[in-house]
A and B are shown apart, each in its own frame.
Chain A
Amino acid sequence: MTQPADTDRLVRAFLDEGPNELPDRVLNVVQAEIHLTHQLTPRGLRRFLPMTPRSLAATVLAAALVIAAVAAITGQLNPGSGPAGIGGRPTPSPSSGPTAVPTPAPTSASPSASPAGLIPPAIPIVFGRADPTGDLGTIDTISASGTDLLEVHSEVPTVVTWSPDGSHLMYAVEPSPNQIATGISDPDGSNERTLPLPDKVRSLGPGAWSPDGSDIAFEGWTYPTTGEAGIFIGSATDASGLRQVTSRPGPGTDVPWAFSPDGKHLLFVRRSTDETAEGDLYVVATDGTGLRKLNPAGIVVSQAFGSPASWSPDGQRIAFAGLGSAQLQARPSAVYVAPLNGGAAKAIARGAWITSARWSPDGRLILFDAAVASGNHGLYTIQPDGSGQTLLDSTVALGSCCGQWSADGSWILFQAGADGSADLWIIAADGSHPRQLTHDPGSYQSYAFQP
């Protein structure tokens, strides 16, 4: 039997091995790169800074690179022909900081020039963006037509949700080093307020907004005391009237996902540990009764990609993306549909790395993403009975995932590019007329059209 002290000694000796020198060529690359890379400005100032000649030059260069990259792929929008993993992802801008700059002309970056009349309407979109190496990021809004980019909040966790009427944003704030609370603001960032926490140890992070906007389901946990985690529902105005809906001991949390359209049930992800975004998908009545797990045995859902589950518009069914056990380069998965009132979830589409499932506003289609044979990733639609599976061809070469419908079902917002170095794009619901919205590669953890 190996004693802990022996293990520690062996681990230290093992970790003592390996290179201890950084080659000069890496330092030379760094020196060259920083010459092209802008530094961030301190919090609160970025939004108001005018464009400098250097950032203007860098933006022009970035736009040229984007145009060149997109032009290069317009001839290879044939599904399956794009190179795995990179597709048509625009070259990262050397000035990829979130400095508030005029949005580069999106039309010129579109793989297929949008004809007049198919320009997306000026629906506001909110998104949270972080650098792949950063914990915090910014919350921004932009019009679906590609204009009016505005940094709303900075140095915050990048999870953000619209209120049901689109009049407010909900996001996470850190009122103290060990606590997370829920922040509410107008869509332009004004009238910020932090919903009060009940004590010094409990966190109540943002979760889901009730359909009438009156309540919020919070992700609750305690720290540093080893208390239990669970979902609390309270007033969206001041977090009053808190009541606990779910409870779980030990590590992990219950992440509220979406109220049913009638507000009587709540969909949530029960993360298996604090270290993972994966867990089980549950539905529970908002009075805490009728807790039921939806994903089959051996299948998990992941909330890391932003859209793992959604309600049918009539509130009678739930669509979700279920992931099987990881294999070396693929992960078998499926789109499932589960009835609210009992009965097993049924797989309606199977593939690899399916991470999202979003019911269309009219209930006719479910939007999901999956790996395609070439190794790239694309968006599909399918009817809820499993028929009519359609690949949105133009999303494949871009390497796309995790789509969101506009409220009228005419447009789809999605991210395209490598993990941690993606941008937001918009496409017509039939898969035509993709247009690039953001030109700032990063991690886009949450994004949505205004309801």
Chain B
Amino acid sequence: MQRALVDRAKQGDEEAFGALARSVGDRCMAIAFRILRDTDMAEDAVQTALITAWRQLPTLRDPDRFEPWLNRVLVNACYAEARRGRRWLANVHALPAEPASNDEAMTVQNRDQLERGFRRLPPEQRAVLVFHHVLGLTLPEVADQLGIPLGTAKSRLHYASAALRAAIEADDRQPRISLERPA
């Protein structure tokens, strides 16, 4: 089904591309929001990515690789959006309107710590985290889809994970330090 739409869209069929965009739009939005942490920026990035995908689709050699190819286009759009907007620097304290974690261990404090830590990460590290943890890709798959060497993917995941761990532990330590101070 998707293969047929890609083939038609590659030939300039706008209707086919529209159907394709509707089939992948929600997934793109989920990825973009998780990288950018901002709904408006994520919508802009998805819009840019889909239009770019339309333009560049004839250069896609293997139609069966459409989704990985689109993922890469989308991530590049997220990078561009991040650089263009710099809005995430200004709204560091903004949180998702309706946190809906099902993980009982995810406390409000953890969420705040992670939100702050995540917003400090460069977009390239965020993308590796999202592809690995949300899309469930292995690191070689992440490297392939992002078009980066495996070592770079490993390095970005390592630094991002360490930074988030440090963000949690830094906040964890603060109360203990204050308790150890003499009255």
Contacts and interface: CB of A to CB of B under 8 A. Distances in A.
Interface of A: 1-2, 4, 7-23, 26-27, 29-31, 33-35, 37-43, 97, 131-135, 155, 178, 223-224, 226, 251, 274-275, 328-329, 418-420
A382 to B, nearest CB: 28
B55 A17 contact: no
B106 interface: yes
Nearest to B15: A31
Contacts of A30: 18, 21, 47, 50-51, 54
Nearest to B101: A13
User: Which 4 A/B pairs are nearest by Cβ-Cβ distance?
Assistant: A13-B103, A22-B25, A22-B29, A133-B76
Given A15-B34, A15-B133, A19-B30, A42 B59 contact: yes
B149 A14 contact: no
Given A11-B164, A40-B59, A19 B84 contact: no
Contact of B29 (A10, A20, A132): A20
B130 interface: yes
Contacts of B103: 9-10, 12-13, 16
A18 B76 contact: no
A133 B77 CA distance: 5
Contact of A4 (B28, B90, B165): B165
B99 interface: yes
Interface string B29-45: 11001100101001100
Interface residues of B, number: 71
B105 A8 contact: no
A14 B105 CA distance: 11
A30 B111 CA distance: 34
A10 B106 contact: yes
Contacts of A27: 18, 21-22, 25
A248 to B, nearest CB: 16
Contacts of B29: 19-22
Contacts of A223: 149, 151
A420 B45 CA distance: 13
Given A14-B106, A133-B73, A26 B25 contact: yes
B133 A8 contact: yes
Contacts of A31: 14, 18, 21
A16 B104 CA distance: 13
A251 B155 contact: yes
Contact of B161 (A11, A16, A19, A37): A11
26 contacts: A8-B133, A10-B168, A11-B133, A11-B161, A14-B106, A15-B130, A17-B99, A17-B101, A18-B30, A19-B33, A19-B39, A21-B26, A22-B46, A23-B43, A26-B47, A27-B25, A33-B47, A34-B54, A35-B14, A131-B52, A132-B48, A134-B56, A223-B151, A226-B151, A274-B152, A329-B86
Nearest to A16: B101
B58 interface: yes
A338 B77 CA distance: 39
B175 to A, nearest CB: 15
A251 B26 CA distance: 37
Contacts of A133: 48-49, 52, 73, 76-77, 80
B110 interface: yes
Contacts of B26: 20-22
Nearest to A43: B59
A278 to B, nearest CB: 12
Interface in B1-31: 12, 14, 17-18, 21-22, 25-26, 28-30
Given A26-B43, A26-B46, A133-B48, A14 B169 contact: no
B83 A12 contact: no
Nearest to B122: A275
Interface in B146-166: 147, 149-152, 155-156, 161, 164-165
Contacts of B48: 132-133
A22 B43 contact: yes
Nearest to B10: A39
B57 interface: yes
Contacts of A135: 76, 147
Interface string B135-151: 00000000000010111
Nearest to A251: B155
Nearest to B79: A133
